[in-house]
Structure 1
Amino acid sequence: MLTRGCYNLHTGARLECKGYRLYPRGYFEDLQSPEIAVMIHGMQNDPSDALEKFRIAKRRLRALGYRHPVVGYSYDSDVRGLLLDWRRALRAARVIARGNGAHLARFITDYCREVPGARVRLLAHSLGSELVLAAAGRLARRGVRVESIHMFGASAPADSPGPRGSGPVLSRAVRGRVVNYYAPTDAVLMAAGEQPLGLVGCKGRAFRGYVQRRVRPRDHRFKSYAEVMGSYP
Structure 2
Amino acid sequence: MSSDQDKLIAESVEKALQGDMDAINNIEDRVTRSKAKAALVKANREAKAAVAEETPRAEKSKAEEAPQAEQTFAAQVAVALEKKFPGSLDTEDVNGHIQMKGEQWYEAAQYLRDNPDFLFDSLQCVTGYDYGTSEDLEVRYNLHSMTHHHAIEIRIKIDRNDSKIPSVEQVWRIGDWFERETYDMYGIEFVGHSNMTRILCPEDWAGWPLRKDYETQEMYHGIVVPKVKDGWE
For normalisation by structure 2, the TM-score amounts to 0.31
**Larger Cα-atom Rg:** 2
If asked which structure has higher relative contact order (CA below 8 Å, sep 6+), I would say 1
For normalisation by structure 1, the TM-score amounts to 0.31
